């Protein structure tokens, strides 16, 4: 019925007339609610609504501070919900158990998001904090019996390219997107925590569950990589990596707690690293290809190109468009790269919309291929469809 119109809620008789008029023209099954501010005149805005009995749900625009300091941990953010959850629970109970709808909720991808919930977007981007705050909602609020639903702010209409380094409320291409997908589309949101198969005996037969003990890593060191096998460089050029060497055990530049999944060295112009799906992968449930790239010999540009292949080779009609990684890498890399890469301008988290990589009518993906126009050493991690 309205959002953030707190200054008018004292006009109860007028609101009741408007609500009755709306019910008069909409189907009888239509459910109505209202979205007051979380805080109005230093109290929750829904305290100032005297006509909740005329509506089907309670409502609020949930921009509440969750911490007194920037960059909280997940545990701190969950704790910050405690008094809010208690307040909402008590208010619902006082209104006969009527449920709440969050007419808006969201967090900007900037460092102050937990302190200044409705604010944005100055200073350096901080999508990691945004992701933590989204996760805290699902842990602290989502299971509550008085919650009927939420409307997330924001995913702009027509927004198809992830921009992980913006400081606004958008979630596409940011960790918050994966948090949302993991709760709304369980099992379809992203590749599970896996490491790349090492090319040894007994290759995996499934896209999932392909961690290999011979990698020399404990399971806790596994990280999302959708079981893409580096094809041996001894294979024919059309079918495998060529003019490239591949090291799966490199630990020279680890993430906190685990190692780089693939370290590749393209040794000649237009050499390629080919990553192979043992079982062709239907990527239709996903929206982006994401990966972290580290090219320590670069300063601003990666010089890498990437494509998806729909057969056992990447020639001709078997391949999708060959895209430049530079066109999709964030302009300010330190906003999204792992802590151990923060000081290196040759590192970034990349998100590419699958619509850009998939030609019309493309079938299941057999391979993901990276190529370079000049010799280049680079690392890849967190390769996943999401």
pLDDT tens readout for residues 200-245: 333 332 222 233 222 222 222 223 333 344 433 333 333 456 677 6
Residue 84 in domain: yes
Residue 192 in domain: no
Q: Please determine, for residue 343, whether its predicted confidence score (pLDDT) is greater than 70.
A: no
* Residue ranges making up the domain that contains 42: 6-184
Q: Which helix (H) or strand (E) holds 74?
A: helix 74-80
Residue 208 in domain: no
Within this chain, do residues 33 and 83 fall inside the same structural domain, yes or no? yes
Residue 303 in domain: yes
Of 267 and 348, the structure prediction assigns the larger pLDDT to 267
Per-residue pLDDT at 205: 29
Of 165, 184, 203, the one marking the end of a domain is: 184
Within this chain, do residues 57 and 149 fall inside the same structural domain, yes or no? yes
Per-residue pLDDT at 225: 34
How does strand 147-152 pair with strand 100-105?
parallel
Residue 195 in domain: no
Within this chain, do residues 25 and 141 fall inside the same structural domain, yes or no? yes
Q: Please determine, for residue 251, whether its predicted confidence score (pLDDT) is greater than 80.
A: no
8 A C-beta contact, residue 273 and residue 262: yes
Of 95 and 338, the structure prediction assigns the larger pLDDT to 95
Residue 158 in domain: yes
Of 169, 184, 199, the one marking the end of a domain is: 184
8 A C-beta contact, residue 158 and residue 207: no
Within this chain, do residues 134 and 76 fall inside the same structural domain, yes or no? yes
Of 257 and 369, the structure prediction assigns the larger pLDDT to 369
Within this chain, do residues 156 and 245 fall inside the same structural domain, yes or no? no
Report how many domains make up the chain: 2
Residue 349 in domain: yes
- Reduced to 3 states (helix: H, G, I; strand: E, B; else coil), residue 333 is helix
Instruction: State the residue for tokens 């998806």.
Output: 308
Within this chain, do residues 39 and 180 fall inside the same structural domain, yes or no? yes
Within this chain, do residues 258 and 221 fall inside the same structural domain, yes or no? yes
SS3 content of the chain, % helix, strand, coil (to 5): 25, 25, 55
Within this chain, do residues 250 and 177 fall inside the same structural domain, yes or no? no
- Reduced to 3 states (helix: H, G, I; strand: E, B; else coil), residue 207 is coil
Q: In what order do the strands lie in the sheet with 272-281?
A: 229-230, 272-281, 365-372, 304-309, 323-324
User: Which tens digit of pLDDT belongs to each residue from 38-52?
Assistant: 999 999 999 999 999
Within this chain, do residues 51 and 151 fall inside the same structural domain, yes or no? yes
Residues ≥6 apart with Cβ < 8 Å to 70? 111, 112, 114, 115, 129
Within this chain, do residues 241 and 371 fall inside the same structural domain, yes or no? yes
Q: At what angle do helices 127-140 and 175-184 cross, to 10 degrees?
A: 20
Residues ≥6 apart with Cβ < 8 Å to 220? 257, 258
Per-residue pLDDT at 196: 31
Q: Please determine, for residue 361, whether its predicted confidence score (pLDDT) is greater than 70.
A: no
CA 130 to chain centre: 10
Per-residue pLDDT at 259: 47
Per-residue pLDDT at 229: 40
Lookup: tokens for 380: 């890849």
Of 136, 164, 184, the one marking the end of a domain is: 184
- High-pLDDT (> 90) share of the chain, %: 34
CATH code for position 172: 3.20.20.80
User: Which tens digit of pLDDT belongs to each residue from 155-211?
Assistant: 887 665 566 668 899 988 777 887 887 787 654 433 332 223 333 333 332 222 233
CATH code for position 306: 2.60.120
Within this chain, do residues 175 and 229 fall inside the same structural domain, yes or no? no
Residue 355 in domain: yes
Q: Which helix (H) or strand (E) holds 128?
A: helix 127-140
């Amino acid at each position: 019925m309205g959002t953030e119109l707190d200054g008018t809620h004292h006009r109860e008789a007028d609101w009741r007339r408007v609500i009755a008029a709306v019910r008069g023209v909409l189907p009888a099954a239509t459910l109505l609610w209202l979205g007051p501010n979380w805080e109005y005149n230093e109290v929750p805005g829904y305290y100032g609504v005297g006509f909740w009995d005329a509506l089907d749900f309670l409502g609020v625009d949930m921009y509440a501070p969750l911490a007194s300091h920037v960059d909280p941990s997940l545990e701190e953010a969950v704790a910050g919900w405690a008094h809010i959850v208690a307040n909402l629970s008590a208010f619902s109970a006082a209104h006969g158990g009527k449920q709440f709808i969050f007419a808006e909720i969201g967090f900007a991808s900037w460092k102050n998001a937990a302190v200044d919930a409705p604010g944005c977007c100055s200073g350096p981007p901080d999508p990691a904090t945004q992701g933590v705050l989204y996760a805290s909602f699902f842990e602290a609020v989502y299971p509550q019996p008085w919650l009927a639903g939420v409307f997330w702010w924001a995913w702009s209409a027509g927004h198809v390219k992830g921009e992980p380094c913006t400081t606004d409320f958008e979630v596409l291409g940011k960790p918050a997107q994966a948090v949302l997908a993991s709760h709304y589309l369980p099992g379809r949101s992203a590749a599970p925590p896996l490491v790349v198969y090492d090319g040894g005996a007994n290759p995996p037969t499934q896209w999932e569950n392909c961690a290999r003990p011979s990698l020399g890593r404990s399971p806790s060191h596994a990280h999302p990589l959708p079981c893409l096998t580096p094809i041996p460089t001894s294979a024919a050029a059309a079918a495998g990596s060529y003019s490239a060497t591949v090291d799966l055990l490199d630990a020279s530049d680890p993430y906190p707690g685990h190692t780089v999944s693939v370290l590749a060295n393209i040794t000649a112009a237009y050499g390629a690293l080919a990553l192979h799906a043992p079982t062709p992968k239907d990527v239709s449930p996903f929206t982006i290809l994401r990966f972290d790239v580290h090219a320590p010999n670069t300063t601003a540009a990666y010089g890498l190109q990437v494509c998806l292949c729909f057969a056992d080779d990447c020639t001709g009609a078997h391949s999708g468009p060959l895209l430049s990684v530079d066109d999709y890498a964030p302009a300010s890399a330190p906003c999204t790269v792992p802590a151990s890469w923060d000081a290196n301008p040759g590192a970034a988290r990349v998100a590419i919309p699958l619509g850009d990589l998939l030609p019309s009518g493309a079938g299941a993906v057999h391979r993901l291929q990276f190529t370079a126009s000049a010799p280049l050493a680079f690392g890849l991690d967190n390769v996943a469809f999401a």
